[in-house]
Structure 1
Amino acid sequence: METYQNIVLEKLPAHLRKYVVPQFYERYTPIDQALWRYVMRQNYIYLKDVAYYPYIPGLRKAGLTIERIPDLQQMNDSLKQIGWGAVTVDGFIPPAAFMEFQAHRVLVIAADIRQLEHIEYTPAPDIIHESSGHAPIIGEPEYAEYLQYFGEVGSKAMFSAKDFELYEAIRNLSILKEDPNATQEQIATGERLLEKIQQNMGEPSEMALLSRLHWWTVEYGLIGTVDDPKIYGAGLLSSIGESVTCMQPEVPKLPYTLDAVNYSYDITKPQPQLFVTPDFEHLRGVLDEFAADMSFRVGGKKSVDKAIACKNVCTAVYSSGLQVSGIFTAVGDENKLTYIKTSGPTALALRGKQLHRHSKNYHKDGFSAPVGLVTGFDRSLEDMTDADLYAAGIVVGQETVLSFDSGITVTGVLESLTRSEDKLVLLSFTKCTVRDTRTDAILFMPEWGMYDMAVGAQIVSVFSGAADKDAYEQQSDVSEISAVRHAYDESTKQLHERYARIRRMREKGNATEKLLMELFTDLQANFPGDWLSLVELLEIAANMSLTEAVRQIEDALDQIQKNQPHLVKLIQDGKRLAKDTNVSLIL
């Protein structure tokens, strides 16, 4: 993985690096570059009045220029100055991974760029949205802290099996909508699948609810007052269509509170309402209010039940500090947490670091252990000293019987004990039998080998993923669906060449009226509906004060918008900007 001489990226954990792809800057076509330039010029002119103030100087701080698509080296050279970094990925990545990148102060940027047909908005992540939307506001310290904190909270959020189905459906549909070769039937099929999954999600998971708060703040947030809000959300900052329409009075502006968690969203449609925060500190307060009830903060049976519903690797943390990572399947009593059980590879860790000898290979068939107090002890087992253990008859090399208040008994020869700081975290037995005396169920038998019993009176935290993700080497959740790499026909390649010529004329300043009109005539003959190339030509003609050329190009643009009414706003905005000499942000 390329780290761009950025220490932030050099410290990125191995389990996140699997999502990173090369930018392949050479894949961006001259049309892509013109599209970027058009969007950025439009945004610059409009957003300087409606964006939260730090956005405009933030463009430069983030290493962005109006003139060309940013390369990751340039962005990282700038972002590392404020303790952040940026990497490119292939479209949507799982929400938990996205959040964890944020926690590590790394912006995730989709390597692709939208098609010209979707210039105003695309449901698929692209480099316009991620870089021009997210990166510039990072220079505001309070917002950067909120974004990182959101990542820390979000990376712990419990998700359901349905959430991953939804993620795959959204990713698939967004790719189809940006694939010029996709048929309407394929898109319609993708939309039906997404709608079916959305209608059968059941009760929203922590991740689903948290993603709503992320959407209404990081992506579509407003700041200030409901009567005079400014834009800071990346989805708005990067959309030349919705950044305008969202400020209309027809779109309700609501004070941002925890109630926003009750508002679902649709990534394919304009937002029906937006939320306004008075300041970035308020965002953190709302997030803390939500996080107070999350599984990683409250633990207990309800949280373990969420881990079971997840059907993916989660971690349960005992009050002793021991972390158990695996796929959870049972909690003992249906009304009370008496023991935990996993199936398949399970690992044990302390403070995020895997315990020696307790990898998922060692516990390859699962793990189970009681939760609760031992009958007759005046304190929890985890708090007992060696002297306390000796007095209770818990001695290495001798047979030990532990009877828990829950009715579970552990009988075996104590082989070793493991402490962490002042806590007893693990007891290891041979010749061990574990029985639930209430049901007479056998939970562990001597012939199964060593019994490693986790120690702890409570489960104080449960969170998504393994405690030590790099050591656990969690099965890859990188989607098998990849964004389509475009293959261009000869006609499109010829159009690319025309765009490249226009850029050279503008940048070198060597255009003449004769060259410009020859290119205009060529475009009219071979690409009569291509409006963006004419907008770029119009800018050059206007700068050269070529009155007749300006008239002819504008007439051609008027004819295009007459034939294609959906282009009216794009063309009118382009004509207006072509004559504006005050749009410049070249690094």
Structure 2
Amino acid sequence: MNDFNDFNNPQVAKLPRHLQQFIVEQRYERYTPVDQAVWRYVMRQNYSYLKHVAYYPYIKGLQRAGLSIEHIPDLQTMNDNLGKIGWGAVTVDGFIPPAAFMEYQAYRVLVIAADIRQINHIEYTPAPDIIHESAGHAPIIADTDYNNYLSYFGSIGAKAMFSSKDFELYEAIRHLSILKEAPDAPAQEIARAEKQLELISENMGEPSEMALLGRLHWWTVEYGLIGTLENPKIYGAGLLSSIGESSSCMKPEVEKLWYNMDTVNYAYDITKPQPQLFVTETFQNLIDVLEAFADTMAFRRGGSEGIVKAIECKNPATAVYSSGLQVTGIFTDMGLDQQDELTFLRTSGPSALAYEGRQLEGHGKFYHKDGFSSPVGKLKGIDRAIEDMDILMLINCGIRPNHIAVLEFESGITVKGLVTIIHQHKDGRTFMITLEDCTVKESNGNILFQPDWGVYDMAVGQKIVSVFNGAADKDAYEEPTHVSDKQTHKIVYDEKTAKLHQIYKQVRSIREKELGFEELPALFDALKKNHRDDWLSALEILEILHHRGLYPELEKEIRVYLELKSSAEPEHTKLINDGLHVIENPVLQLITEED
């Protein structure tokens, strides 16, 4: 993205190129008057109910994040406000890959879906939307303990290894969520997408690190409760942005369990209400559980276990030698000794070498275009690892420039060739040796490298200390991070819908400007005659009449109209009744009480 807009926000400005590729413009002008009414309805319902069950003062949190009950948030305003607490925000198109989502969190940037749910999904949407992302996640960002957990989770999650099946699952979930949020998607196509998701879900095999971390993320960041089992409060964004589930989740039939390491064993279904929820006593407990899980991950354990995960991933991953050298590529092979310790590793296709996250000059994926392989371990009969040898010890082992070296490893692998360069860090530690006319073979005679393959860059390191997802230097490697080719639907509105939008726009204008009340009877008449499916605009007209004490007969007529709709249309019963409740118990009054 050449025209990258950082919104004058320091956190957004720090985003690397491989994350910038997911960002889309918010296009605020695309939000229709109905969209704005949906935002306002959900936010007023949220506040009316969440005042009693949310963990933190909801309105204060909204204000600190640059959000209001009245209008869909503008990204610049959000960034101006979030910047004051060390966070930022960007808009994306629906679901993005989990690894990228995590990395945004690590950079302390909220990822916000630019779209907003349709009115027929007002209680819950299967797709990410601006209500969920901003009204759910943003208000609690002001809590220091929580936002530290969120960014720390991101830094751990960005390193998590995923399986090749995880991306299949991601694409299936994204595809289904887009279909369900599209107004014209055929039922047959939705059913086919549901079947495909079910098929993939049932054949995932052992869950990957990313899948397990996804569970911890779901049961905390999205659906977390805090406090006691008997009287928990909501802090999870999925609950805070779902006016249906934020209410139903508190019922006794939704089991409440303590949040601990065992939570990782509970899978979730993104399309259904959750059968159980997890309660943490403190946000510190979330960090403690995350720490315990991180200790099981390849980026901390390394070794053969980590390389196995990298091979299964079938996507670029990085292995870190104990010398600090980082090898990025698609891992395809490894050698093991009798103790299951690594003896060598191999990548295929474009590979790169780096140190401390910076690609080494001349060792990018075009130079190592056919892959990379190297031994792992110590030299036979020598206690000290090569990376820890000083110059004198290297010479004693036959390692010096312009001399033939014969290096026999404990594993039985032998490297023989002309040493041309000994690569060392500033602290004197050796991390790579370049040889020409080089042969590398195992004790059984199996050839790992031969002279006509070119120059041999031998990685130095007694062991692999870390294995993590993606490239060490993502921008230099230009990692082909997967941007889905399935875009969310952009709706084109017919003439009748455009007229309904105009009614919504006029009602909002009358309410905000406190002018034109005499137009309300005609607007309701147009609703009755031409838009019988609509219920929300009628509620908004009733709200104005009730609070202003205008046209009592019309107020009564609209109230009867809505009550009849409520009883005749089960899908609208709760929505209408909740709307009537908020009219009788105004949000502004509740805000004043909180303040």
TM above 0.5, one fold?
A: yes
The runs of 5 or more residues in structure 2 that have no matched partner are: none
Counterparts of 1:137-156 in structure 2 under 5 Å?
137-156=140-159
The aligned counterpart of 1:425 is: 431
Q: Secondary structure at the match of 2:336?
A: coil
Higher mean alpha-carbon deviation, 264-273 vs 331-340, is at: 331-340
Counterparts of 1:155-304 in structure 2 under 5 Å?
155-304=158-307
Superposed displacement of residue 255, structure 1: 0.6
Higher mean alpha-carbon deviation, 166-175 vs 516-525, is at: 516-525
Q: Which runs of 4+ in 1 moved over 4 A?
A: none
Q: Secondary structure at the match of 2:430?
A: strand
Higher mean alpha-carbon deviation, 424-433 vs 556-565, is at: 556-565
The aligned counterpart of 1:121 is: 124
TM-score (norm 2): 0.97
- Is the contact between residue 317 and residue 329 of structure 2 (CA under 8 Å) also seen in structure 1? yes
In structure 2, distance between residues paired with 1:477 and 1:522: 47
The aligned counterpart of 2:586 is: 581
Percent of aligned pairs sharing the same letter: 59
State the aligned residue count: 584
In structure 2, distance between residues paired with 1:104 and 1:371: 33
Counterparts of 1:130-529 in structure 2 under 5 Å?
130-333=133-336, 335-420=340-425, 421-438=427-444, 440-512=445-517, 514-529=518-533
Q: Secondary structure at the match of 1:583?
A: helix
Q: Does 1:552 align with 2:557?
A: yes
The aligned counterpart of 2:87 is: 84
Give, as a single letter, the amino acid of the residue that structure 1 aligns with 2:102: M
In structure 1, distance between residues paired with 2:324 and 2:309: 20
Superposed displacement of residue 91, structure 1: 0.3
- Is the contact between residue 102 and residue 152 of structure 1 (CA under 8 Å) also seen in structure 2? yes
- Is the contact between residue 400 and residue 422 of structure 2 (CA under 8 Å) also seen in structure 1? no
- Is the contact between residue 44 and residue 587 of structure 2 (CA under 8 Å) also seen in structure 1? no
- Is the contact between residue 62 and residue 78 of structure 1 (CA under 8 Å) also seen in structure 2? yes
Q: Secondary structure at the match of 1:510?
A: coil
Q: Secondary structure at the match of 1:346?
A: strand
In structure 1, distance between residues paired with 2:587 and 2:106: 38
Give, as a single letter, the amino acid of the residue that structure 1 aligns with 2:404: E
- Is the contact between residue 86 and residue 106 of structure 1 (CA under 8 Å) also seen in structure 2? yes
In structure 1, distance between residues paired with 2:398 and 2:528: 94
The aligned counterpart of 2:30 is: 27
In structure 1, distance between residues paired with 2:110 and 2:297: 25
Q: Secondary structure at the match of 2:448?
A: strand
Give, as a single letter, the amino acid of the residue that structure 2 aligns with 1:362: Y
Higher mean alpha-carbon deviation, 571-580 vs 298-307, is at: 571-580
Give, as a single letter, the amino acid of the residue that structure 2 aligns with 1:423: R
- Is the contact between residue 159 and residue 206 of structure 1 (CA under 8 Å) also seen in structure 2? yes
Superposed displacement of residue 54, structure 1: 4.1
The aligned counterpart of 2:54 is: 51
Superposed displacement of residue 141, structure 1: 0.1
TM-score (norm 1): 0.98
In structure 2, distance between residues paired with 1:108 and 1:4: 14
Give, as a single letter, the amino acid of the residue that structure 1 aligns with 2:51: K
In structure 1, distance between residues paired with 2:428 and 2:201: 48
The aligned counterpart of 2:98 is: 95
Higher mean alpha-carbon deviation, 117-126 vs 332-341, is at: 332-341
- Is the contact between residue 47 and residue 58 of structure 2 (CA under 8 Å) also seen in structure 1? no
Q: Does 1:530 align with 2:534?
A: yes
- Is the contact between residue 113 and residue 128 of structure 1 (CA under 8 Å) also seen in structure 2? yes
- Is the contact between residue 45 and residue 583 of structure 1 (CA under 8 Å) also seen in structure 2? no
The runs of 5 or more residues in structure 1 that have no matched partner are: none
Higher mean alpha-carbon deviation, 553-562 vs 93-102, is at: 553-562
In structure 1, distance between residues paired with 2:140 and 2:333: 45
In structure 1, distance between residues paired with 2:576 and 2:451: 78
In structure 2, distance between residues paired with 1:566 and 1:404: 71
In structure 2, distance between residues paired with 1:563 and 1:489: 27
In structure 2, distance between residues paired with 1:208 and 1:581: 43
Give, as a single letter, the amino acid of the residue that structure 1 aligns with 2:302: G
What RMSD over aligned residues (CA atoms) do the two structures have, in Å?
1.1
Superposed displacement of residue 98, structure 1: 0.2
Q: Secondary structure at the match of 1:338?
A: strand
Deviations, residues 425-476 of structure 1 (Å, cap 9, x unaligned): 00000000000122x1111110111100000010000000000001000113
Higher mean alpha-carbon deviation, 556-565 vs 138-147, is at: 556-565
